[in-house]
Amino acid sequence: MLFPDVEFEITTGDLTAYLRSALSRWSGLTVAVKRPETMPQRLLTVRDDAGPPVGVGLILNRYGINAWTDDPVEAEQLVRDAIYELRLLPGVGPFKATRDFFGPTEIEDDPPFTFGETPLSHFYASFAAVVKGTSPTS
Amino acid sequence: MAHVRIKQTGSLDRIAKGDGLSEQLKPFADRILSAARRDPNAEYTRTLRMRRFVSRGRLGRTSWQVGAAPRIGSRVEAKRGTLNRAVGEAGL
């Protein structure tokens, strides 16, 4: 059996760059792959949860989105805005389609993360994206 | 991507809610559950369950649900995406 000569690049950088630009109306928002040691007032992280192949040169990659802000309504709205923007993702970079959106769901951190003295509210969502691989020889 | 082939021997409504389809789907739920059980949080893995669910009505269908206790389940999912990864590992 022949396997296609395709490699899949790390996509969380593409996603954070896309969300940073798409959510630029959120002032002071940090979009990152990992949660920093010191929490900012508004933080959105993107985690790659991997996924199976769905065709020649395609994988169905799953992602987790975590958001923290110092206001619970804002935290939920931030995740809702991120989901809205991610629905518009197909066509950007290697992303061919998005599906299986789930959330936002409130997460009770124990103990809660804080910004200064203020406890941060935490919401979570997940989704899947069909990601196209690239041929290393091309 | 996983595929299931079913030979149609009755009405679609009966097939969608029937034991045959349930038996075809169960191995996927088993795989998801066993992948999720590898999570390092023992308190979480102790609460993992799977169960068959059949929805009612004309569009009712059979499905398998895999989940954990609500608070710890959502906390672990937000932290490590355990079920998200397990679904992918099952080829779904």
CATH classification at residue A61: 3.30.2000.30
Q: Say if CB B17 and CB B62 are below 8 A apart.
A: yes
Average pLDDT, whole number, for chain B? 89
Chain A residues whose beta carbon lies within 8 Å of the beta carbon of residue B89: 52
Report the residue of chain A nearest B78, measured CA to CA.
Answer: A124
Q: Does B43 lie at the interface with A, CB-CB under 8 angstroms? A: no
Give ipTM to 2 decimals. 0.86
Contact B75 A60 (CB under 8 A): no
Q: What is the pLDDT of residues A39-80, one digit of tens each?
A: 999 999 999 999 999 988 999 999 999 999 999 999 999 999
d(Cα A50, Cα A54) in Å, to the nearest integer? 12
Q: Identify the pLDDT of residue B91.
A: 85
Task: Indicate the pLDDT class of residue B16, thresholds 50, 70 and 90.
Answer: confident
Which residues in chain B are closer than 8 Å to A109, comparing Cβ atoms? 75
**pLDDT value at A30 more than 90:** yes
Q: Return the structure tokens found at B28.
A: 């996927």
| Predicted confidence (pLDDT) per residue in A76-134, tens digit | 999 999 999 999 999 999 999 999 999 999 999 989 999 999 999 999 999 999 999 98
DSSP result, A12-40 = HHHHHHHHHHHTTTSTTEEEESS--SS--
Q: Tally the domains of chain A.
A: 1
Q: What residues in chain A have their Cβ under 8 A from chain B's Cβ atoms?
A: 47, 49-55, 60, 62, 64, 66, 105-110, 122, 124, 126
Q: Report pLDDT for A45.
A: 98
Give the SS3 label for residue A67: strand
Specify if B71 maps to a domain: yes
In terms of CA atoms, which chain B residue is nearest residue A110?
Answer: B75
Q: Is residue B5 part of a domain?
A: no
Provide the Cα torsion A118, A103, B73, B24; round to 10°: -170
Task: Pinpoint the alpha helices (H) of chain A.
Answer: 12-22, 72-87
Please indicate, yes or no, if residue A7 is contained in any of the structural domains: no
Rounded to whole angstroms, how far apart are CA atoms A128 and A99? 5
Q: Can you give the residue range of the structural domain that contains B50? A: 12-89
Our count of domains for chain B comes to 1
Judge whether A137 lies within some domain. Answer: no
pLDDT score for B15: 81
Q: Do B92 and A52 touch (CB under 8 A)?
A: yes
Peptide bond into A111 cis (omega under 30): yes
pLDDT of residue A19: 98
What per-residue confidence (pLDDT) applies to B2? 66
